[in-house]
Amino acid sequence: MKVIMIVLLFVLSWAFFASVGMGQSWLEIREGTKKIVEGRDPELKMTAKLEEENRAFYKWYFSENDEERWVVVNIFYEKSRSDASKQMERTNLHLPAGPGRKRSDLGDQAFYSVNEVTGSASIRFRIANVYFTVGTTSLTEVEELARSFEKLIKK
């Protein structure tokens, strides 16, 4: 009986850790994200910050003369891959111009869109149980940021 319980406990633990991001806490993900953005462009100033139990929202902005740079990040730290996926689908439903194009080179699920007028771009991707949205001034920059965030999550 004892052996069965131990095996069951092991299987349940494995199932849990297989479904969520391992190796880092919610705090580490948030701090890591901020460090990446601010380390990459120290001139950016944080203009909005919302940190809750399982989601975070940040805006950074820099403006001088005609130059304008910004980064906006949302992170959803869900209990499971399935919950993170649902959060992503929920976002897709609310976007007036649609979810954008799918891409397969980032995380487990990803969409991106580029504004044809301004050149600004955003990527929304899920990796394990974490769902990120990243928006910034160009596709190149948003791709670099998204790849850095992806590396934060140890599956």
Partner 1 sequence: MALAELGKYNDVSPSIPERNVIIRVKNGSTVIANKDAEIAGTTATIIDISTTSALESTVKKTTPTFDWEISYNDGTTWSSIGSSGPHTMYWTYAEPLSPAFTNEWSTTYPHLYDDALEYATEYADGSPDLNTIFGNLNAGVQSAITYDPKADDLIDVHPLQTYSSPKVGNCSDHAHLLRGLLRSVGIDGPLLYIWAGPNSTEATVFGLTSAPTDGVSFRIQKAAHEGAVQDPHFMYHSVVNRNNTWYDPSYGGDPYTSLAFTHVDISNPPQQKHGTKYTTPSFSGWYCPH
* Residue closer to partner 1, measured from CB, 26 or 57: 57
Helix (H) or strand (E) run with residue 142 in it: helix 139-152
Bridge partners for 73 per DSSP: 58, 134
Q: Pick from 18, 115, 140, 154 the residue near partner 1 by CB under 8 A.
A: 115
- Applying the rule CB under 8 A, the residues between 51 and 80 that interact with partner 1 are 55, 57, 59, 61, 63, 68, 70, 72, 74
Decide: is 120 part of the binding site for partner 1 (CB under 8 A). Answer: yes
Shorter beta-carbon distance to partner 1: residue 36 or 73: 73
13 or 47: whose CB is closer to partner 1? Answer: 47
Residues 2-61 that bind partner 1 (CB under 8 A): 47-48, 50, 55, 57, 59, 61
Question: Is the dihedral angle over the CA atoms 92, 50, 54, 121 positive or is it negative?
Answer: positive
Whole-number Å distance between alpha carbons of 126 and 69: 25
Q: Is the dihedral of CA 87, 81, 28, 31 positive or negative?
A: negative
> Residue 41: what are its φ and ψ, rounded to 5°?
-145, 85
- Number of CB atoms found within 10 A of residue 150's CB: 19
Would you tell me which residues interact with partner 1 (CB under 8 A)?
A: 47-48, 50, 55, 57, 59, 61, 63, 68, 70, 72, 74, 90-91, 93-102, 111, 113-118, 120, 122, 124, 133, 135
